[in-house]
């Protein structure tokens, strides 16, 4: 039998009654305070995921508001379902152990949602949890997205926003041109990054729209569905407004103004534009619903008042389950610590410039002839999601027949979920190229050795056509995509190992796509001779 709480008839709880709740809070703090600290110093400190703290604050604020509302309406029931709730808590703790130890934010941060939902079901029942479902759903937007997913999904939106900005500013008679996601306005170039026009901003604006809908609580289902669907084009429009704003600031006031305070201020422009568009579209939908004769008055946002002692109606929990839950949480913390892989520095110093010869076989280095697609390292020697390498080598070689091959090597001594190798099919489009073809390519580097899994890519942009052969190595494996790379890092991590990784890329300029097959043959022979000629350190980096 479900019991409905009476918010006016219960005295204040005694300290003994509060003790089990404090035990649960201690367990949750042990789990997630270190996680939050890492998030604030890591993903949440970047433009990509700066919305995370806002979403978390709003989600917990909504949870408080909804709990208060249900208590005042005598709808906060207590019908515990431990048989359903505790397995959800256990699943959440397992996700926490794997996510915390292997730095998989989707699992680590997502486990908070599972643990809280499981506790609510176990202590109060499914019906009470279902009446608060939106708070748990909203928390999903605070989870940092895997970069491999963001890179793949965000590119079409970045290109579309860049194209829209180009056309609008050209229509306004500004001197602007575009190459992929690189805008040139006047004497300045702007790279449309993920944070400016990507999946992250789309998720943030979708969260903003859903929160607006839930707070306004329109009774019209058609209106709610239409508004939710229109948030995607609203996000596109808001992102375009932001890029136009930054382009005009840069054009009129210089690059320093565009990249300084006003760049951060443009984020506020993004959300103000989105909010105004959402309200405007909602008003138009409201007018259409009223014109159709349907009721359109929502519940609105009202914070109900509670009688003294009403919060005591949340009830008490037994000390034994609280202690067992605390023990499980502390065990999860210990398990995550035990499974965390340990990095063992390579005693042999890696120096690509010294390991890779400037002359080998029929090839010799050609100084400063062709500009390559960039592989950069951080100026301060640090590493980040955008600059994940410890050592980079970029050279151009020529043979006796005059054929030129551009070589790019990018080495990282630590491959982790949040900092790993970048794939050319992602980096090239970010620099204004279009990938015309991408296919697997077994590459034989030495006689009798198994073929090494690489890829052939044909890309066009910046007035040239480039044939590319490349492979990526992580530990002793050659993953063929972003997800495969993450899984290899995950497997290495479960074995207690932090692996190194390298990207090996050879490319040639071709006149048309019919010359690409011959270029791939030249590149494979070039790489085979390179591996044979490199010293022990370079050979170990390139192939194992």
Tokens 């320093």 locate to 256
CA dist 200 and 212 (Å) reads 18
503 to each of 30, 278, 285, 351, how far by Cα in Å?
Answer: 39, 44, 51, 15
Q: With contact defined as beta carbons under 8 Å apart, do 270 and 241 qualify?
A: yes
3-class DSSP state of 245: helix
Give yes or no for residue 469 having a pLDDT over 60.
yes
Token pair 């076989």 is at which residue?
361
**Separation of alpha carbons 249 and 245, rounded Å:** 6
Q: E-strand spans in 186-342?
A: 188-191
Percent of the chain past pLDDT 70, that is, above it, reads 73
Question: Residues in the chain, how many?
Answer: 544
The strand pairing partners of 460, in sequence order, are 434, 465
The answer on pLDDT for 82 being more than 80 is yes
Contact 199, 163 (CB under 8 A): no
- Flag the least confident range among 217-231, 257-271, 279-293, 348-362: 257-271
**Residue 234, CA distances (Å) to 212, 275, 277 in order:** 14, 9, 7
Strand bridging mode 404-412 / 363-366: unpaired
Residues 513-537: tens digit of each pLDDT: 899 999 999 999 999 888 888 766 5
The answer on pLDDT for 12 being more than 60 is no
Instruction: Report the range of poorest mean pLDDT among 101-110, 242-251, 375-384.
Output: 375-384
The predicted model gives 85-89 an average pLDDT of 94
Residue 77, pLDDT above cutoff 60: yes
Mean of all residue pLDDT scores within the chain: 79
pLDDT digits (tens, 9 = 90+) for 317-359: 778 888 999 999 999 999 999 988 876 665 555 778 888 888 9
Per-residue pLDDT of 178-191, as tens digits, reads: 876 778 888 877 76
Which range, of 10-14, 34-38, 249-253, 338-342, averages the lowest pLDDT?
A: 10-14
Q: What is the pLDDT of residue 54?
A: 79
Q: What is the pLDDT of residue 55?
A: 82
For residue 493, what pLDDT band results from cuts at 50, 70 and 90?
A: confident
% helix, strand, coil for the chain, step of 5: 55, 15, 30
Residue 250: φ, ψ to 5°: -65, -45
Task: Supply the Cα-derived Rg of the chain in whole angstroms.
Answer: 28
Mean pLDDT for 390-417 is 88
pLDDT, residue 349, reads 59
Sequence-ordered list of residues with C-beta below 8 angstroms from that of 492, at least 6 positions apart, any chain: 341, 415, 474, 475, 498, 499
pLDDT band at 281 (very low <50, low <70, confident <90, very high): confident
pLDDT over 90 percentage in the chain: 22
Look at the block and give the residue holding tokens 């375009």: 240
Per residue in 131-170, pLDDT tens? 888 888 888 888 887 766 666 666 677 778 888 888 999 9
φ, ψ for residue 505 (rounded to 5)?
A: -135, 130
pLDDT at 377 over 50: no
The closest of 387, 376, 377, 379 to 418, measured between CA atoms, is 387
For the stretch 93-135, pLDDT in tens is 999 999 999 888 889 999 999 999 999 999 888 988 988 888 8
Look up tokens 């070689």; give the residue.
397
**How would you class 102 by CB atoms within 10 Å of its CB: exposed for 0-12, middle for 13-18, buried for 19 or more?**
buried
pLDDT at 376 over 60: no
Asked whether the beta carbons of 42 and 105 are under 8 A apart, the reply is no
Pairwise CA distance, residues 391 & 353, whole Å: 9
- The sign of the CA dihedral 253, 254, 255, 256 is negative
For 386, phi then psi, to 5°, come to -80, -25
Structural contact between residues 122 and 92, judged by C-beta atoms closer than 8 angstroms: no
Mind telling me the catalytic residues?
Answer: 196, 242
pLDDT of residue 9: 45
At 66-76, the pLDDT tens digits run 888 777 777 77
Whether the predicted pLDDT of 277 surpasses 60: yes
């Amino acid at each position: 039998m479900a019991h409905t709480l009476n918010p006016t008839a219960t005295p204040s709880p005694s300290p003994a009654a509060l003790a089990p709740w404090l035990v649960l809070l201690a367990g949750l703090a042990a789990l997630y305070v270190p996680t939050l600290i890492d998030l604030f110093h890591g993903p949440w400190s970047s433009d990509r995921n700066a919305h995370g703290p806002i979403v978390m604050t709003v989600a917990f604020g909504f949870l408080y508001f909804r709990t208060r509302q249900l208590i005042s309406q005598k709808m906060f029931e207590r019908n515990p379902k431990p048989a359903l709730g505790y397995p959800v808590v256990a699943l959440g703790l397992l996700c926490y152990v794997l996510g915390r130890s292997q730095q998989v934010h989707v699992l680590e941060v997502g486990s908070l949602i599972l643990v809280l939902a499981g506790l609510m079901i176990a202590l109060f029942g499914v019906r009470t949890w279902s009446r608060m479902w939106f708070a748990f759903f909203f928390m999903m937007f605070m989870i940092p997205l895997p970069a491999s997913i963001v890179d793949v999904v965000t590119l079409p939106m970045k290109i579309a926003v860049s194209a829209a900005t180009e056309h609008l500013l050209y229509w306004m008679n500004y001197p602007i041109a575009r190459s992929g996601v690189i805008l040139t306005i006047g004497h300045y170039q702007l790279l449309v990054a993920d944070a400016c026009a990507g999946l992250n901003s789309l998720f943030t604006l979708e969260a903003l729209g859903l929160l607006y809908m839930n707070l306004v609580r329109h009774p019209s289902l058609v209106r709610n569905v239409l508004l939710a669907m229109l948030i995607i084009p609203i996000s596109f429009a808001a992102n375009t407004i932001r890029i136009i704003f930054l382009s005009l600031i840069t054009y009129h006031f210089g690059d320093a103004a565009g990249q300084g305070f006003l760049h951060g201020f443009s984020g506020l422009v993004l959300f103000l534009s989105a909010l105004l568009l959402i309200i405007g579209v909602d008003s138009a939908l409201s007018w259409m619903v009223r014109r159709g004769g349907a009721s359109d008055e929502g519940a609105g946002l009202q914070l109900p008042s509670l009688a003294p002692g009403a919060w005591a109606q949340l009830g008490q929990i037994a000390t034994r389950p609280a202690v067992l839950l605390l023990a499980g949480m502390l065990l999860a913390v210990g398990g995550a610590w035990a499974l965390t892989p340990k990095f063992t520095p390579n005693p042999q110093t890696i120096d690509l410039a010294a390991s890779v010869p400037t002359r080998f076989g029929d090839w010799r280095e050609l100084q400063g002839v062709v500009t390559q697609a960039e592989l950069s390292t951080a100026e301060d020697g640090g590493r980040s999601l955008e600059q994940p390498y410890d050592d980079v080598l970029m050279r151009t070689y020529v043979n006796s027949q005059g054929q030129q091959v551009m070589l790019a090597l990018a080495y990282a001594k630590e491959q982790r979920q949040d900092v790993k190798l970048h794939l050319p099919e992602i980096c090239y489009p970010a620099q204004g190229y279009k990938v015309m073809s991408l296919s697997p390519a077994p590459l034989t580097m030495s006689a009798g050795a198994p073929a090494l899994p690489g890829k052939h890519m044909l890309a066009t942009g910046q007035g040239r056509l480039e044939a590319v052969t490349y492979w990526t190595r992580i530990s002793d494996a050659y993953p063929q995509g972003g997800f495969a790379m993450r899984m290899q890092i995950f497997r290495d991590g479960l074995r207690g190992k932090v692996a190194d990784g390298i990207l090996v890329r050879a490319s040639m300029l071709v006149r048309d796509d019919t010359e690409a097959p011959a270029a791939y043959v030249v590149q494979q022979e070039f790489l085979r001779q390179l591996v044979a000629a490199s010293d022990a350190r370079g050979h170990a980096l390139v192939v194992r």
